[in-house]
Amino acid sequence: MRKSIAIYGAGGFGRETALLLQQINAVEPLWDFKGFFDDGLPKNARLADGLVMGGFQDALDSDIECLVLGIADGAVRKKLFEGLKWKGFRFPSLIHPSVNRGSARNHIGQGCLISAGVIFTTDITVDDFVLVNLAVTIGHDVHLQAYASVMPACHLSGNVTLGEGAYIGTGAKILQGITVGAGAKVGAGAVVLHDVPANTTAVGVPARIISS
């Protein structure tokens, strides 16, 4: 029996999440997609991918069983979860059918979104509400802490740690054993050779810290 599910966030990534649900259902019909919640669009607005059912209070008042946070910003995902968790929603992880899940020792927490073409290897830990976007590769013993976001075509070598809420821009490469601290950002295309402290931004090849 399909479970009712809605997406919080009807922007570009929210609509990509709706596509992810469709692609999962094409392989195994798991989800009954009811629509979106979004605070920036009028209630009952009709999008190509579904109905906007309202905003935050409407989500709390709904009888939806499962909710997915279709928002790329990890800090926003955290804020929403903290406000919604008491309602009793289930927050399933959505994993595209094409994902290479790697070793049985890998662990993926709740509320994660794992997009098409991702490759996991072995002994990987993905904490709650992590986003791993299209065509990312993740090496052995990597730890992605809660609310981290990894954008398309990134490559994480073995023993990399991303702190809570870290953001890795499109096409970035993180070399072996590097730690990117909580809340830190790595720019698109960067090659990270050294640890990135918490709440800083690193850009370039090789990556250098430009703000703190």
Same domain, 18 and 59: yes
Over the range 86-104, which residues count as b (16 or more CB within 10 Å of their CB) and which as e? eeebebbbbbbeebeebee
Rounded to whole angstroms, how far apart are CA atoms 154 and 135?
Answer: 7
Print the domain residue range for 32. Answer: 3-91
Please check whether residue 174 lies inside any domain of the structure.
yes
Q: Which amino acid would we find at residue 209?
A: I
Which of 140, 143, 155, 194 does the annotation list as catalytic?
140
What is the value of pTM for the model shown?
Answer: 0.95
Q: Which amino acid would we find at residue 176?
A: Q
Rounded to whole angstroms, how far apart are CA atoms 132 and 16?
Answer: 13
Same domain, 125 and 170: yes
pLDDT in tens, 119-169: 999 999 999 999 999 999 999 999 999 999 999 999 999 999 999 999 999
Rounded to whole angstroms, how far apart are CA atoms 96 and 33?
Answer: 16
Number of domain units in the chain: 2
What number is the average pLDDT over the span 38-46?
A: 94
Same domain, 15 and 84: yes
In the residue annotation, 107 being an active-site residue is answered as no
The β-bridge relationship of strands 137-138 and 155-156 is: parallel
